[in-house]
Amino acid sequence: MAAIAAILSSIPSSSSSSKFSKYQSHPSAPPPCRVVCRGGSQPPPPVTTDFQFALHDALDSSGINTTHAREARQNFMSQIKRLSSIEREISISINRRVDLAKTALYIAAEDDSLISHSSVALPVDAFIERLDDLSMGFCTNNSSALKSSPEMLLDSLEKFLYVKKGFRRSTMKSRLEPRSLYLHSVLTHRSGSAVMLALIYSEILKTLRLWSLLDFDCEIFFPHDRYGLPRGYHKQKSAESDHPHILTVQTLLEEVSCVIFCCHGRAYN
């Protein structure tokens, strides 16, 4: 059987507003993907005309089933195709167009299938239920905070997440591993990157808003240091210095896809 090496040689910078690294919705030119086949007299895999699935086609040709990975990629694409250039630059705390939790889980589901070759797909819906359980747990244990000031509500939410539930920033060493950017892993181990912790925070806020329990504009302060935790604040009381600490939809997707791309690009070389 031929050994397949997929070499992806360039990664768009985080300043790009139209690309999502390996998860790109509408590329203006074919992504820099090159499939190299080695070994014996095995015929080369068929050339794909869909560059979104070039790696999947190559793996299928080598005998590796990519059914779950393809499904995850298609689900991911169905989410991000809803984003306009303006919507990509809005804060994750006010995003309405895309289910960011599902989008992050679809990224993880595709990579999990490609790397582990598991015959079972990552249970995306089960991890969405975990997020719902977090929101329900907060409401159940903090009913008085829901009726108090915005500052007290957010303080209670952070104590619930970071103290009672024990969510924490991953260490510097583990931040180099894609696990800290896999939402399902962060929900399981309660340790992850600031990006994933901010996403979990925003998902709880979204649920509270959906349940009509959040009646003020809330923003999330995203830390750029090594140890800080994402924290909420009343947007009407924000300062100009807070603006660089707003995590946008575009930045979140790029952070997740670029780091995983780097780690797994090496795995396929």
Instruction: Let me know if residue 20 belongs to a domain.
Output: no
d(CA 98, CA 110): 18
Amino acid 96: pLDDT: 83
Instruction: Let me know if residue 159 belongs to a domain.
Output: yes
**Higher-pLDDT residue of 54, 164:** 164
Amino acid 3: pLDDT: 26
Confidence band (pLDDT; 50, 70, 90) for 118?
A: confident
Instruction: Let me know if residue 4 belongs to a domain.
Output: no
pLDDT tens digit string along 159-205?
A: 999 999 999 999 766 555 678 889 999 999 999 999 999 999 999 99
Instruction: Let me know if residue 6 belongs to a domain.
Output: no
pTM, two decimal places: 0.77
d(CA 149, CA 216): 10
Amino acid 130: pLDDT: 97
Q: How many domains does the chain have?
A: 1
Distances (CA, A) of 102 to 4, 60, 80, 183, 195: 30, 26, 11, 9, 15
Instruction: Let me know if residue 157 belongs to a domain.
Output: yes
d(CA 114, CA 11): 20
Domain that holds residue 146: 124-259
Instruction: Let me know if residue 21 belongs to a domain.
Output: no
Q: Report the first-to-last Cα separation within the chain, whole angstroms.
A: 17
pLDDT over threshold 50, residue 48: no
Q: What is the mean pLDDT of residues 2-27?
A: 34
Instruction: Let me know if residue 87 belongs to a domain.
Output: no
pLDDT tens digit string along 122-157?
A: 999 999 999 999 999 999 999 999 999 999 999 999
Instruction: Let me know if residue 221 belongs to a domain.
Output: yes
Largest separation between any pair of C-alpha atoms in the chain: 72
Q: Is 107 left (phi over 0), alpha (psi -120 to 50) or beta?
A: alpha
